[in-house]
Structure 1
Amino acid sequence: MPAPASPRLVALDGLSQIIGEGRMLSEITSDPVWQDLTPAERATAQRLITETLRYLGRADHLLTPHLQRQPPLRVMNLLRMATVELNTGGAAHGVVNEAVKLAGRNKKTAPMKGLVNAVLRRVTEQEPEAWADAPDTLLPKWLRPKLAKAWSKPVVAQIERAHAVPPPVDLSVKSDAAGWAEKLEGTLLPTGSVRLSARGQLSALPGFETGDWWVQDAAAALPVQLLGDVAGKRVLDICAAPGGKTMQLAAKGADVTALDISEARMVRLTENLTRTGLPAATVVADALTYDDGLFDAVLLDAPCSATGTIRRHPDLPYIKSQTGIDDLVNLQRAMLTRAVQHLKPHGTLVYCTCSLLREEGEDQIKWLLSQTDAVEVQKPVAPGLDPDWISPEGGVRLRPDYWADSGGMDGFYMAVLQRKADPAPE
């Protein structure tokens, strides 16, 4: 009988699938081998993968001087994972021994056990400053030049530095954000989110079982704030799953219709609504063909490259590429056009994407205004909104390096548009 899979072995397999095959971490964790692990072991395996991807640049920098040539990918990933462990609190003897054992469990890598042992022992002899001074993991080659053109190379370096910091956990609360910040020993952010100061099992915290809060990055919580007072208004939340913005809207007293094309994702949204006890109508349908009359407000969180969430999902650079961006841009334009058609006269539309790319953000608003005079950009107003975040066309541009001293935020773009009154008939 083969030995049962360990968290390190499962993590090593996962790393090779992400870097070598372009599989998503969320997809990999659904594989049968992951289900054989205990919850604690699954968490360990996922942490090993995430941290190795986050610190890949530093690990490679430390390993390169000890390698005459780069070994096969699986061995390189084993060295990377062990190097990250060694520099993030792992006990040197145990980490090195486990890495050598892992090399020996595979016929192709077993001949390199000596190499693994020798290289990692040299890594353990390096000064602690070597890790701290090592370069951050660079953004992918297809993305980095785009962002440098948009903001400059120094800004890109700031974003990469922000990606090297494990992101905090932010919460949106039904009410009394200040009270919950105190109760959970967190921080009340200027925009109204609660940022936790310590990591742990979220489901064990006060307020989880009673549905008083839900996890939502502070940047992702801002689009709903831009809609202003929605109490009693009929609001359509397009691409609503998993439901963070739907719950915000419901907590503010809106009559919400949550629309999403994915039945599986809508199941999760329904579960979230059930836990929090918040009401919303849920519809599984294509936003381009859905029709249920006009709404006072529409929130469109459009499908996008998700490049603004790399700090939370460091596997994204290995599964995303320039291929497909044009298709996403065209889909966003079609959804924007349809979202405008859902609005009552004087109704408000907030368009947002968790993307760092201007073609998915600023450029889309410019395009929409060139196509129709039915809407106009409104000045964004929300608690804690920094004037420096407002972009030239009137939208809000958020970047991972904002709030760097307090944990950063996801990259996001959002804009507020109002539908003009329909012209009077002649």
Structure 2
Amino acid sequence: MRPLDVSQGLAARQAALAILSDVLRKRRPLEAVLAHCDGLEVRDAGFARAIASQTLRHFGQLDALIRDFVPKTPQPHKAGPTLEILLMGAAELLFLDVAPHATVDAANKLAQSDVRALHFKPLINAVLRRVAREGRGIVAGQDAPRCNTPDWLWARWVAAYGEETTRAIAATHAAVPPLDIVWKTAPADALFATVQRLPQQRVENIAGFAEGAFWVQDAAATMPVHLLGDVDGRRVIDLCAAPGGKTAQLAASGAIVTAVDRDGARLTRLAENLGRLQLRAEMLEGDVRDVQLAPAPFVLLDAPCTATGTIRRHPELPWIKSASDITSVAGASAELLDSAAALTAADGLLVFSVCSLEPEEGPEQIESFLAQHPEFVRAPLNPEDVFGHAEFIDPQGDLRTLPCHLAEQGGMDGFYAARLRRRS
């Protein structure tokens, strides 16, 4: 790993500390708190994001290490951001290759900026110096996949996929994923003919961005649209459409798209992105459950979910979600699926997808739906539907990608999708 420029300084670390405090204490998504980087130089903003994301990506390991060094961890109401300062300092030393003197000096300055943490400055100094001396050896001996996966998620995944696959899934979460971009005019005869994988970088700097030649979308996220088949010149209702990768796919394939989303701000950004891509779609703001549209031959519902299939891109998720979130989201998703069914024309296709690894949000949702809607039948997938990757098809004939699939090529998000046909 290339060492980071140690001249990157206090402002970046202050932003990273604010981000981590919001994520870990308020359970806010990482992307929602990146505004703490506003106003920073590009280099400093990148450093702040790197500190925050690596701390979260390796949170279980770092937390175990710090608690081993400090058996009586200071309570936040007494110590302020002391624990976050220790965690991010350890992340710098162990996973970002920052020089020890730079990390320790910056951590001391962060402690000085909070009256509660100031009292623990000697502790911070001593612990981080010990991390610099002993940390790498300890981390090398940790069971990283298990450490970095909370008990509640680990147990669920072992029950659903077995321990070997669970370990493979968790192992992929430790690596920074590639940047997947979809070329607007690429042939769709192979997964990586359409999707190009690049190292993480500023999207705006990639040649062709301003001209609308591509959009950003994980390889797995492109697959539900392919399950619809040929949509050229056909009506497609795209439900819960934002942020719009699937809308762009449909429009680029020649579909007559109606994109529905209840979040007006996200729908506006979707429209702006389609404008950059020089693609067209009708925009409709509203709750899917209240939408009044004529039934269409193709309906796509990318339902809201806990997004546990995207942890490699959103490393905070294991630490801000809980099992209760799955229950509440699954209930809302069932209502959306009922509404999507009403918008599907006779002999039409309905594709339901979620970026979750949880059975309640995917296959169990579909089994319940089919039991209550005899007018729909499953239209099982074949390898040609998934670019020849038969391993992406589950025993019921549905799509199930896992983060450990195509690991040698950088992995992919965990997606579930079912293709259903309405009887004539």
TM-score normalized by structure 2? 0.90
Q: Quote the residue 1:208 is aligned against.
A: 209
Which structure 2 residues correspond to residues 127-166 of structure 1 after superposition, within 5 A? 128-136=136-144, 137-166=147-176
Conservation of the 8 A alpha-carbon contact between 1:191 and 1:222 = no
1:40 counterpart = 2:47:
no
Conservation of the 8 A alpha-carbon contact between 1:168 and 1:195 = no
| SS of match in other structure, 1:237 | strand
Letter in structure 1 aligned against 2:121? K
1:12 counterpart = 2:20:
no
Q: Quote the residue 1:91 is aligned against.
A: 99
Q: Quote the residue 1:125 is aligned against.
A: 133
Q: Quote the residue 1:182 is aligned against.
A: none
Q: Quote the residue 1:79 is aligned against.
A: 86
| SS of match in other structure, 2:412 | coil
Distance of 1:312 and 1:193 partners within structure 2? 20
1:63 counterpart = 2:66:
yes
The 1:139/1:313 distance shift into structure 2, 3 A limit, reads: same
> Displacement of 1:240 after TM fit?
0.4
Distance of 2:83 and 2:28 partners within structure 1? 18
Which structure 2 residues correspond to residues 362-377 of structure 1 after superposition, within 5 A? 362-377=363-378
Unaligned runs of 5+ residues in structure 1 are 179-187, 422-426
Distance of 1:205 and 1:191 partners within structure 2? 18
The 1:353/1:209 distance shift into structure 2, 3 A limit, reads: same
Of 79-88 and 251-260, the range deviating more from structure 2: 79-88
Which structure 2 residues correspond to residues 253-272 of structure 1 after superposition, within 5 A? 253-272=254-273
Partner deviation per Cα, 1:230-272 (whole Å, 9 max, x = no partner): 1011000000011100000011111111111110110110011
| SS of match in other structure, 1:29 | helix
| SS of match in other structure, 1:288 | helix
Q: Quote the residue 1:103 is aligned against.
A: 111
Distance of 2:345 and 2:371 partners within structure 1? 21
Identity of aligned residues (%): 38
> Displacement of 1:96 after TM fit?
1.4
Letter in structure 2 aligned against 1:228? G
1:113 counterpart = 2:115:
no
Conservation of the 8 A alpha-carbon contact between 2:215 and 2:245 = yes
Distance of 1:412 and 1:385 partners within structure 2? 17
Of 364-373 and 328-337, the range deviating more from structure 2: 328-337
TM-score normalized by structure 1? 0.90
Q: Quote the residue 2:3 is aligned against.
A: none
Which structure 2 residues correspond to residues 185-334 of structure 1 after superposition, within 5 A? 190=191, 192-334=193-335
Q: Quote the residue 2:413 is aligned against.
A: 410
Letter in structure 2 aligned against 1:6? A
1:26 counterpart = 2:31:
yes
The 1:218/1:133 distance shift into structure 2, 3 A limit, reads: farther
Distance of 2:285 and 2:165 partners within structure 1? 40
2:184 is aligned, of 174, 180, 183, to 174
Q: CA RMSD in A?
A: 2.1
More helix by share: 2
Partner deviation per Cα, 1:149-202 (whole Å, 9 max, x = no partner): 111223222221111111111111111369xxxxxxxxx973544343433222
Conservation of the 8 A alpha-carbon contact between 1:241 and 1:266 = yes
Distance of 2:143 and 2:196 partners within structure 1? 28
> Displacement of 1:354 after TM fit?
0.7
> Displacement of 1:126 after TM fit?
2.7
Distance of 1:71 and 1:65 partners within structure 2? 13
Unaligned runs of 5+ residues in structure 2 are 1-8
